[in-house]
């Protein structure tokens, strides 16, 4: 029955489309062979929102696959490239000058600069990754590059790469800048003298001995090689391969069936696919997702400070909202900036209301089938939206959570009708207060001064509100519209006047519902205060 339900919704949710592709790929596999999905993490920097997407989205595909084929074993590998050489010390690193001494070293061999609480720089970042992923309840297994190379699990494939190095160079070199082609090699030996891996230049290949000749003479990012020359094995962790070859190496040895990656890696995936075929393997099914955009439509860049961190999401919205955001069509570029969070929260609340109202089949069609967690609220019976809560804080002129909660209870008694609704609403109220304190209050413009004509309009509105404390939202909205008709050729022109005066912004929530929430008496009091 579960398979039939999943099949009936597959056309509506992208994870089911991907799961069907994956099912076709593995149809001939022996029953005991696990289906392998992979993602990656580079531990030279902190985990960020992109990392969350690269882990969660494949996990959605895995969930869909298991609903289609519940008896099939699966693995989801998060591969940690901790053999990668440190090219730049992240700005958030304490004691940056000390860590800069290790530029070019594999991050698995660099001492932990964050208080020495882990065995290495990479170890600290991996611990942060595990802590970072804990709230989203995703099942995965970590594999470390240093362990795979050091244990010999890659050795057989490394011998094959060494034997086919000329053909691999023939695949990769034409994709490089002309000045980088002549010296490019699949291998990066680890220098036994200075410990760097990015500085070594391969000068000879000895497939019969499993070794390469090399010189430690490259310079990069303020670091330079030590000048050591010699011959060294490529096995047992004494060398790693360049990343496009490394990608193919993982696919081959781990038998990866499915991987998602940013659209900027489409060409790299094609190159790695050619390499893995040369080595006798098959590239996984790929899915190229779109990038995140900031409010101006530019690609989000962590290095220059654009975008939103996961910590900010968790401060300003429940974790389920982030999961919901990442569940939306990955092939569509989406704007991702702090001011957009309230809209995503309200989108999530609407989806939750629809999910609650639907039957079993409708719930299976909902993205929330992939998003909801063990502790998630399964209902939200209030009509209150997050944007409304956000605007309540400045309108009331207080960030006292209990005072604001009393306004919510008065506006909508259903907000306490059941424990799940109340718990979620209280979480949202806390998020709204955080948003106000962090982002609205510090940047609030000087109080707007209405013109003489606007003062007359606002005084009339305040007078009406004072005499109609029990008016419902629809009546309030209609009264404001009628007032606008008295003063303007287009009645709607009065709304920005009210928003500017009350909230210091050009737009806002539906005024009828908002004034009912804050109470007509409170809004009348606020208007009188603005009018002096």
pLDDT digits (tens, 9 = 90+) for 14-56: 999 999 999 999 999 999 999 999 999 999 888 888 889 999 9
Which string of DSSP letters, residue by residue, matches 307-354?
Answer: S--HHHHHHHS-HHHHHHHHHS-TTS-EE--GGGHHHHHHHHHHHHHH
How far lies 151's CA from each of 80, 158, 233, 531, in Å?
15, 13, 14, 75
Q: Where does the pLDDT of residue 2 fall: very low under 50, low under 70, confident under 90, or very high at 90 and above? A: very low
Report whether pLDDT(507) > 90: no
DSSP 8-state class, residue 142: E
Tell me which residue of 294, 302, 301, 296 sits closest to 336, measured CA to CA: 294
User: Residue 443, class by beta-carbon neighbours within 10 Å (0-12 exposed, 13-18 middle, 19+ buried)?
Assistant: exposed
User: Residue 185, class by beta-carbon neighbours within 10 Å (0-12 exposed, 13-18 middle, 19+ buried)?
Assistant: buried
Q: Look up the CATH number of domain 2-176+242-289.
A: 3.40.50.620
Phi, psi of 466, rounded to the nearest 5 degrees = -65, -30
- Pairing of β 239-241 and β 74-80: unpaired
**Which pLDDT value is given to residue 36?**
98
- Of the chain, the end-to-end C-alpha distance in Å amounts to 67
Report whether pLDDT(202) > 70: yes
Q: How many degrees, rounded to 5, is the angle at CA 312 between CA 131 and CA 379? A: 85
128-144 pLDDT per residue, tens: 999 989 999 999 999 99
- Pairing of β 187-189 and β 141-144: unpaired
> Where along the chain do its domains lie?
2-176+242-289, 187-241, 293-439, 452-531
Task: List residues bridging with 143 in a β-sheet.
Answer: 79
- Pairing of β 285-289 and β 258-262: parallel
**Which pLDDT value is given to residue 260?**
97
Q: Where does the pLDDT of residue 301 fall: very low under 50, low under 70, confident under 90, or very high at 90 and above? A: low
Q: What's the topology of domain 452-531?
A: Arc Repressor Mutant, subunit A (1.10.10)
**Which pLDDT value is given to residue 305?**
42
What would the 3-class secondary structure string for 6-42 be? HHHHCCCCHHHHHHHHHHHHCCCCCCCCCEEEEEEEC
Token pair 């008065």: residue: 410
> What is the rounded average pLDDT of the residues 197-217?
97
Domains 2-176+242-289 and 452-531 share a fold: no
Average pLDDT taken over every residue of the chain? 90
Percent over 90 (pLDDT), the chain = 71
**Which pLDDT value is given to residue 307?**
54
Q: Where does the pLDDT of residue 300 fall: very low under 50, low under 70, confident under 90, or very high at 90 and above? A: low
**Which pLDDT value is given to residue 298?**
66
Q: Where does the pLDDT of residue 4 fall: very low under 50, low under 70, confident under 90, or very high at 90 and above? A: very low
Which two tokens mark 330?
């990955």
**Residues 54 and 260 sit within 8 Å (Cβ to Cβ):** yes
Measured over the CA atoms of residue 292, residue 297, residue 301 and residue 306, the dihedral's sign is negative
């Amino acid at each position: 029955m579960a398979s039939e339900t999943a099949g009936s919704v597959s056309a509506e949710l992208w994870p089911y489309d991907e799961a069907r592709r994956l099912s076709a790929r593995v149809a001939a596999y022996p029953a005991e062979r696990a289906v392998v999905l992979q993602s990656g993490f580079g531990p030279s920097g902190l985990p960020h929102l992109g990392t969350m997407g690269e882990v969660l989205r494949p996990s959605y595909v895995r969930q869909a696959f298991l609903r289609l084929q519940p008896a099939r074993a699966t693995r989801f590998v998060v591969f940690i490239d901790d053999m990668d050489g440190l090219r730049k010390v992240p700005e958030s690193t304490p004691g940056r000058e000390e860590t800069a001494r290790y530029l070019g070293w594999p991050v698995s061999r660099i001492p932990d600069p964050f208080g020495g609480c882990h065995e290495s720089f990479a170890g600290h970042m991996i611990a942060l990754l595990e802590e970072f992923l804990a709230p989203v309840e995703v099942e995965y297994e970590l594999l470390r590059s240093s362990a795979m190379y050091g244990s010999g699990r890659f050795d057989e494939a490394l011998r094959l790469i060494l034997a086919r190095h000329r053909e691999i160079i023939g695949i990769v070199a034409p994709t490089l800048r002309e000045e980088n082609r002549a010296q490019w090699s699949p291998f990066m030996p680890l220098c036994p003298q200075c410990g760097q891996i990015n500085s070594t230049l391969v000068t000879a290949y000895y497939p019969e001995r499993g070794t390469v000749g090399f010189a430690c003479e490259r310079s990069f990012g303020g670091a330079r090689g030590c000048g050591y020359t010699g011959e060294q094995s490529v096995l047992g962790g004494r060398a790693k391969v360049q990343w496009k070859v490394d990608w193919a190496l993982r696919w081959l040895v781990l038998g990866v069936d499915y991987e998602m990656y940013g659209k900027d890696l489409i060409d790299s995936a094609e190159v790695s696919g050619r390499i893995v075929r040369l080595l006798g393997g098959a590239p996984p099914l790929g899915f190229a997702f779109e990038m995140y955009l900031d409010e101006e439509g530019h690609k989000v860049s962590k290095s220059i400070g654009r975008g939103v961190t996961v910590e900010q999401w968790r401060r300003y919205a429940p974790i389920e909202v982030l999961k919901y955001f990442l569940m939306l069509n990955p092939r569509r570029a989406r704007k991702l900036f702090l001011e957009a969070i309230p809209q995503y929260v309200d989108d999530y609340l609407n989806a939750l209301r629809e999910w609650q109202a639907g039957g079993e089949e409708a719930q299976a069609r909902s993205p929330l089938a992939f998003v909801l967690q063990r502790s998630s609220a399964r209902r939200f019976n209030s009509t209150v939206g997050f944007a409304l809560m956000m605007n309540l804080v400045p309108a009331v002129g207080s960030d006292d959570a209990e005072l604001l909660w009393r306004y919510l209870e008065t506006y909508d008694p259903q907000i306490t009708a059941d424990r799940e609704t109340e718990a979620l609403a209280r979480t949202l109220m806390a998020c709204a207060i955080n948003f106000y304190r962090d982002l609205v209050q510090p940047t609030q413009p000087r109080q707007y001064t209405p013109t003489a004509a606007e003062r007359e309009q606002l005084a009339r509105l305040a007078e009406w509100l004072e005499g109609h404390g029990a008016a419902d939202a629809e009546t309030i909205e209609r009264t404001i519209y009628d007032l606008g008709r008295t003063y303007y050729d287009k009645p709607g022109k009065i709304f920005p006047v009210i928003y500017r005066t009350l909230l210091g912004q050009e737009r806002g929530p539906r005024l009828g519902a908002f004034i009912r929430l804050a109470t007509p008496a409170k809004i009348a009091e606020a208007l009188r205060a603005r009018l002096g």
